[in-house]
Amino acid sequence: MANYNPKSLKAEEFINDGEILETLRYAEENKNNAELIDEILEKARPRKTEQGCVCSGLSHREASVLLACDIPEKVEKIKEIAEEIKQAFYGNRIVMFAPLYLSNYCVNGCVYCPYHMKNRDIPRKKLTQEEVRNEVIALQDMGHKRLAIEAGEDPVNNPIEYILECIKTIYSVNHKNGAIRRVNVNIAATTVENYRKLKDAGIGTYILFQETYHKESYLKLHPTGPKHDYDYHTEAMDRAMEGGIDDVGLGVLFGLEMYKYEFAGLIMHAEHLEAVHGVGPHTISVPRIKRACDIDPSVFDNSIPDDTFEKIIACIRLAVPYTGMIISTRESEEVRGRALNLGISQISGASRTSVGGYTDTERPHDTEQFDVSDQRTLDEVVRWLMECGHIPSFCTACYREGRTGDRFMALCKNGQILNCCHPNALMTLTEYLVDYASEETKKIGFKLIDEELKKIPKDKVRQIAESNINDIKNSNRRDFRF
Ligand code: SAM
């Protein structure tokens, strides 16, 4: 049996089944241990220092105790601290993005995914470069600046060259004042050489969901195709980092396995990246299984209710305070609204999960990857966020200024976010309002920006931001950034 070793590069050693089971036993044993829980909560709380605000995060064992605890007042405390951490490091900014589905050809047999090879009911489609261009124009015309590209795994139909060509096309399109300034990539696990090519193509985050950390279940849920190889899939982030990609995004598909097991695995994966590469994951996503063509989510008997889902989000926030968290339109407006206060820092808006979906006037369902719960337009989502007290941000500055990996974390840790991310959010929101928003959204937005400008601590930075915002309003100059 493999021993636990967070520094190992072997999947079974850094995601160690024995250690997870021991963690779950420890968490169960201590879930009512109020003294220990208070100690863990105290450790998780953000502290002010001369350099700014700092947080220690939690180990997978500590975080698992919190997740197991169901003493109502302690659960409330977990949520309160999650909100404090969110405010301390991310403020009220929410980064916006949209997925772009390139191809649903796939050679895998993932039993929860409609792209699985045996599904004869889903029409297979792969965008041509002309179609990619049209999709990008449609996304730019909504106001999007940041995309996550998605594709099934198929070495013949979607080889790395196809993905690279699509990235090039996406970055080349500038419709009116539009631009896609950051392309994140969610494609199957691949080789160091291919990760290097993605890095050279200028991608932002490489995202790969583990789906489940439980090896036995993983093998059953991925019965055929290259994705069946648990170790190759689990070790993908190490290869991505070896290929030069600094920002990687983890995730679990909640509903497949027992959530406590997945949670411990997820935090152990983050600890492993920190131990080996000196930097944890840039983001963590929290997808839950949804209905889709040939997929009935009720056959997976580990579905989690909304309150547990919210607790998971809050516990991730406490465990890895410097990691961004993403929630997609798989979730409804209500769930997304509550999750935003518990630590989510990025959301998708107006997503279409079908290949070619953005150029169709009606939302097409035939090639959808999953049912979208939140079907509002981007303008509606932006307005709603502002009405709830958040600042929608279309900022992509960090990676374009070379602030990736540990350099981004340093910005987070040294409290410079209010002098950097905050003005960037306000300037990119101004671009959105001027170029794309409805009159009502503009009215709410400009008022919010005036208020929020006052919060920039450095006079010089505030003056520059004000002047740039005036330029955006009165000219076609765009893309200012700190
Ligand atoms: N093909 C790539 C891979 O295998 O990692 C990634 C792209 S896939 C389009 C993106 C993610 O969608 C998967 O990693 C999975 O977690 C999620 N997904 C698949 N089926 C789903 C379903 N029925 N409901 C919700 N999410 C699903």
pLDDT in tens, 203-222: 999 999 999 999 999 999 99
Minimum-distance ligand 1 atom for the alpha carbon of 211:
16
Task: Using the mean position of ligand 1's atoms as its centre, give its distance from the Cα of residue 113 in Å.
Answer: 6
Q: Are 198 and 164 in contact (CB under 8 A)?
A: yes
Helix (H) or strand (E) holding 207: strand 206-207
Nearest-CA residue for ligand 1 atom 11 is 209
Q: pLDDT: is 365 or 274 the higher one?
A: 274
Closest atom of ligand 1 relative to the 227 alpha carbon: 4
Distance 151 CA to ligand 1 centre (A): 9
Report how far ligand 1's centroid is from the alpha carbon of 452 (Å).
37
What backbone phi and psi angles, to 5 degrees, belong to 51? -85, -10
Q: Atom of ligand 1 at shortest distance to CA of 330? A: 25
**Ligand 1 pocket, Cβ-based, cut-off 6 angstroms:** 112-113, 150, 152-153, 186-188, 208-209, 211, 227, 253, 287, 289-290, 292, 295, 330, 369-370
- Give the pair of three-digit tokens for residue 322: 């410097």
* Nearest CA residue ID for atom 19, ligand 1: 113
Report how far apart the first and last C-alpha atoms of the chain are (Å, whole number): 51
pTM: 0.97
Query: What pLDDT is recorded for position 90?
Result: 87
Across the chain, mean pLDDT equals 95
Token pair listed for 62: 């500590």
Taking the CA of residue 292 as reference, the ligand 1 atom at the shortest distance is 23
Check pLDDT > 80 for residue 282: yes
Ligand 1 mean position to 380 CA, how many Å? 26
At residue 243, the pLDDT reads 98
Using the predicted structure, report yes or no on whether residue 139 has a pLDDT greater than 80.
Answer: yes
- Cβ neighbours around 107 below 10 Å, total: 19
Residue 362 has pLDDT above 80, yes or no: no
